[in-house]
């Protein structure tokens, strides 16, 4: 295992920012899972503002990252990799906020049970991303990264299967044309959130492979 710190010094600010970005992405996914639970239980669901705040925090982290990159001559990872991973992490809470926006204005009864399995897979994917990003600080242990990436790829594959099953049920269910279009878009957006976690994980794998 090759230590990135030994190669590039002990400046941890970029690792701090990447880890903060990964944690904020996971926070948005956790909020979404709680939103569904509260909706299913008849409680007042979380307010949209909480999701907006999560996305804004991620945006501030990304802005700080850009500022630090402009001020720092030597970085612990290649600049393009830092920028790519930072952007990939930002896109996770962004789409989660968009999903909840659409759910909040959905005119019918939200089929929360249909979304809950997708939300579980989103959480698995987000957990794997957080773990993988944190591995960058300590070095490039490719085996740990591969194990986490396997979990991430499994979650993404399962999310595809769940979406296909939901769409099949939707196409054969008692839905009018408007409901069908709206729910299909929502199902696909949730699956995209898992895809964005996978994309972030793929970037981590690429970084590790460069330094292993």
Kindly report, residue by residue over 54-65, the tens digit of the pLDDT.
Answer: 888 988 999 999
Kindly report, residue by residue over 74-122, the tens digit of the pLDDT.
Answer: 888 899 999 999 999 999 999 999 999 988 888 777 778 888 889 999 9
User: Could you tell me the residue range of the domain that residue 90 belongs to?
Assistant: 7-211
Kindly report, residue by residue over 145-197, the tens digit of the pLDDT.
Answer: 999 999 999 999 999 999 999 999 889 988 888 888 888 999 999 999 999 99
Kindly report, residue by residue over 7-62, the tens digit of the pLDDT.
Answer: 444 568 999 999 999 999 999 999 999 888 887 666 666 677 888 888 889 889 99
SS (H, E, C) the chain: CCCHHHHHCCCCHHHHHHHHHHHHHHHHHHHHHHHHHHHHCCCCCCCHHHHHHHHHHHHHHHHHHHHHHHHCCCCCCCHHHHHHHHHHHHHHHHHHHHHHHHHHHCCCCCCHHHHHHHHHHHHHHHHHHHHHHHHHHHCCCHHHHHHHHHHHHHHHHHHHHHHHHHHHHHHHCCCCHHHHHHHHHHHHHHHHHHHHHHHHHHHHHHHHHHHC
Whether 119 is in a domain gets the answer yes
The pLDDT value recorded for residue 42 is 61
pTM: 0.86
How many domains does the chain fold into? 1
Report the distance separating Cα 61 and Cα 56, nearest Å.
9
Whether 2 is in a domain gets the answer no
Q: Are 122 and 28 in contact (CB under 8 A)?
A: no
Whether 1 is in a domain gets the answer no
| CATH code of 87's domain | 1.20.58.220
The pLDDT value recorded for residue 1 is 43
The pLDDT value recorded for residue 9 is 44
Kindly report, residue by residue over 116-145, the tens digit of the pLDDT.
Answer: 889 999 999 999 999 999 999 877 678 899
Whether 195 is in a domain gets the answer yes
């Amino acid at each position: 295992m090759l230590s990135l710190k030994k190669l590039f010094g002990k400046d941890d600010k970029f690792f701090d920012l990447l880890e903060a970005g990964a944690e904020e992405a996971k926070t948005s996914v956790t909020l979404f899972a709680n939103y569904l639970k509260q909706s299913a239980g008849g409680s007042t669901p979380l307010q949209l503002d909480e999701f907006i705040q999560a996305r804004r925090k991620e945006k501030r982290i990304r802005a700080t990252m850009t500022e630090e990159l402009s001020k720092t001559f030597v970085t612990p990872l290649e600049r393009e990799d830092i920028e790519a991973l930072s952007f990939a992490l930002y896109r996770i809470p962004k789409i989660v906020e968009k999903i909840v926006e659409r759910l909040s204005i959905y005119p019918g009864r939200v089929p929360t049970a249909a979304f809950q399995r997708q939300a579980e897979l989103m959480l698995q994917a987000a957990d794997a991303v957080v773990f993988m990003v944190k591995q960058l600080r300590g070095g490039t242990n490719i085996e740990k990264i591969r194990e986490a990436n396997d979990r991430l790829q499994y979650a993404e594959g399962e999310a595809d299967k769940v979406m296909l099953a939901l769409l099949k049920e939707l196409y054969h269910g008692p839905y009018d044309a408007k409901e069908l279009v709206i729910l299909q878009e929502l199902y696909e957006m949730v699956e995209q959130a898992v895809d964005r976690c996978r994309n972030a994980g793929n970037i981590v794998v690429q970084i590790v492979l460069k330094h292993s």
